Amino acid sequence: MIRKRIRWLSIMLLLGIILLSARLMQLQLFQTESFSKHKINLIEESVAQRTQQLVIDEGRGQFLDRNGKPLTFQEKNVLVLFPFLKRMDWPVEEVARIIHVTPEIIETKIEQAKGPIVFGGKEAFQLSEEQMNEINGLKIQGVFAVTRKFKSGTIPASQLIGITGENTEEFHERYPDRVKGIHQKIGVTGMQEIFDEWLISEEQSKLIYHVDANGGPLFGADVKYLAPANPFYPLNVKTTIDMDIQQALEEVADRYKIEKGGLLLLDIENSQILADVSRPTMKSSDPFSGGADNYMLKALAPGSVFKTVVAAAAMDEGIVDESRMFNCDEGIYGAPAEKPHGMINIKSSIAVSCNRTFADLAKELVVKDPYSLEEYAGKLGLLGDIAWKGNVFHYEEFSQLPVSKGRVFVSDDERKDLNYIAQTGIGQREVRVTPLGLANMMATIARGGEKYMVNAATSIDYQNGTSMFSFPRKKMEGEKITPFTAMKLQQYLRGVVNSPEGTAPYLDTALYPIAGKTGTAQTGKESEGRELYNKWFAGYFPFENPKYALVAVNMDVHIDEGGIYPIFKDSVDAVHKLRE
């Protein structure tokens, strides 16, 4: 009986030893970098428990403007101090002399420190190269002058660039073969999300030293600098944004207190986004409180700007020329117009934005071909694959931007209703287009009908600045309007600004000659018992030698508020001052 108990006890002990051994092997051999369903890197976590460290660079790739200026971070030369200095006798007076502070200030900061610190915190002052060399020349262990990357407090074109966040489950769902995901930042919105695979960190750059249980140096005051072994990584994305123009247009939006809406500026020759301003502003502390949406990529009600599409279709199809007259004393249903203009032709109809003209033309076009308005919106680069799309490495049909799909009608039944068609012809009812699409339409007209996809990035670059992949200018597929129609549209859009009857004579005082189209769209919303509108101006400039296409929209404003012309003019003048 005793022998039997001993045998069972021995078996139980043996099983226990086997299970413990298996567990140890799991922890130390098989799942050291990807333990449990949370994919915990045990090596990193064990190092973190017995070290104090200061991250110099989190290792994620960054976004640069078209000239290579950083958009998402700032580099500062700063003084780094380690807390073990409080237990040492070191020449604090020398360091204080170099940075022009008293020794007592430095000593106080070190006494308060529980880990390595950047002297001055987030507001750390910039050390000169001479100060850095002098500090590092002292060779004091625990005192370093380094160049550190700080996340920019205000990121230009913040909604376009997007945000990052830590989400371990999402990281491993996207990248199941990668093990370093426990504290890895990933792109959540915008270009941060779209370009995420090329930007994720391989390894942080940091200053590190080992500590005992009390926080004291474990192996003496020996600080090590750890950095990625590959000097070509992380990769950076060079955007098309012009930092100076972006900031100038941000100032215009703030000056006119745009609460919802924004500005989008394209380089016509290269079809590149130079500035993307969306309001409300995104709060870095709470980005999803209402400011994360990029309204420049959202499909919105355009109002009369859409009449440009109707005019292009009618001229291209031979339905209208300048000899045909329209009764602009009447509204779209025959009742007296609010602003009568008499019998006028297509040129004057665009200048005064006559609703009757475009309601009649839309009905003729849709009766002839139910899909004609969509087709011509595509021919103008307003609808379709607007953002750059193509094959990038293993990605097929990679798209640079999350652009909303626009529309003209929502059902075939609407195409059969003449009242629906009439309202659609003046940009109301269910018509929805993006500011990006409208800017691209204006650029297409300015180029004589040539339509291109819009670029937000020009290349993915190695850390040394050489290109790993470039995004060339690409034509949009499909048919386009005739050069004659494009030429006529150029003349008519100029008349909106410089003709006596035009709706936007205020813009003729801008520093560049402008061509474009106004729009006031009903939104179906109310505030304080009054209807709200989207106010638009979409155009290009200079008229004779077009370089820029610009769209401005002030959303959800009362009819007597939120004037769009001063916003557009000041934006044009800001570009002129920077470029001329």
- Give the residue numbers annotated as catalytic, written as ranges: 304
Q: What is the β-pairing status of strands 548-557 and 261-267?
A: antiparallel
Question: Which amino acid, one-letter code, is at 359?
Answer: A
According to DSSP H, which parts of 384-531 are helical?
412-415, 418-425, 435-446, 483-498
- Give dist(CA 193, CA 174) in Å, integer: 11
Which residues lie across from 151 on neighbouring strands? 73
CA 408 from centre of chain: 26
Whether the bond into 280 is cis, omega within 30 of 0: yes
- Give dist(CA 449, CA 392) in Å, integer: 28
- Give dist(CA 279, CA 259) in Å, integer: 6
Alpha-carbon distances of 387 from 211, 263, 345, 416, rounded to whole Å? 52, 17, 35, 32
**Both tokens of residue 299?**
């499909």
- Give dist(CA 522, CA 302) in Å, integer: 9
> Cα(first)–Cα(last) distance of the chain, in Å?
103
Residue 497's nearest CA partner among 517, 524, 476, 522 is: 517
Contact of 426 with 360, CB cutoff 8 Å: no
Alpha-carbon distances of 434 from 240, 302, 311, 415, 446, rounded to whole Å? 19, 8, 19, 22, 19
Neighbouring CB atoms inside 10 A of 473's CB total: 14
* Backbone phi and psi for residue 206, each to the nearest 5 degrees, phi listed first: -155, 155
**Both tokens of residue 7?**
């045998």
Residue the block writes with tokens 């290009």: 540
Q: Which helix (H) or strand (E) holds 4?
A: helix 2-25
- Give dist(CA 194, CA 466) in Å, integer: 21
- Give dist(CA 542, CA 362) in Å, integer: 30
